[in-house]
Amino acid sequence: MKKNNKKAANGTALKQQQFSVLNEIIWHGPISQKELGETLLFEKSNVSKIVKILFENKWIRVMVAPHDRRLTLLSETPEGLAIWKDCMQVFHESSTEFTSLLSEGEEASIIRLLKKLQKAFKSK
């Protein structure tokens, strides 16, 4: 599945880790780089490099937090949202293709197991 997502990501303007960061910004932004690293389990230097690329491509904006001028927050731009939507469409097509290979029972089992894993990770 990871290989499938990587293949899908290759059909877009974003690499997989760049998509992960932009996705997190869109769903949970405005967000700090520190929060991004903690949520995605990325090294600080890796987050900085990805943020720089996203910023240079005008897919995100960097702004000063209103409550703390020392803190910078990241949010998406209209261009970033458009790229994200394109990526989501590609990922949706890829996952639809993948799940079409499964029976209803197999798909239900996978969903049940993924929910169990998600619950286990949230409790740690």
- Residue 111's domain is classified under what CATH number? 1.10.10.10
Kindly state the average pLDDT of the residues 18-43: 95
Q: Distance between CA 53 and CA 80 in Å, rounded?
A: 12
- Residues found in the chain: 124
Helical H segments across 1-124, by residue range: 2-10, 16-28, 33-40, 44-56, 78-99, 104-122
Question: In which band, very low, low, confident or very high, does the pLDDT at 124 lie, cut at 50, 70 and 90?
Answer: low
Q: Which helix (H) or strand (E) holds 65?
A: strand 60-65
For 6-10, 50-54, 55-59, 120-124, which range has the lowest pLDDT when averaged over its residues?
Answer: 6-10
CB atoms within 10 A of CB 84: 20
Domain span at 80: 2-122
Question: In which band, very low, low, confident or very high, does the pLDDT at 38 lie, cut at 50, 70 and 90?
Answer: very high
Cβ-Cβ contacts under 8 Å for 12 (sequence gap 6 or more): 19, 83, 86, 87, 90
Q: Which helix (H) or strand (E) holds 71?
A: strand 68-76
Model confidence pTM above 0.85: no
Kindly state the average pLDDT of the residues 19-45: 95
Number of domains within the chain: 1
pLDDT above 60 (res 8): no
Q: What is the pLDDT of residues 93-113, one digit of tens each?
A: 888 888 889 999 998 999 999
pLDDT at 11: 61
Query: What's the token pair of residue 116?
Result: 């169990």
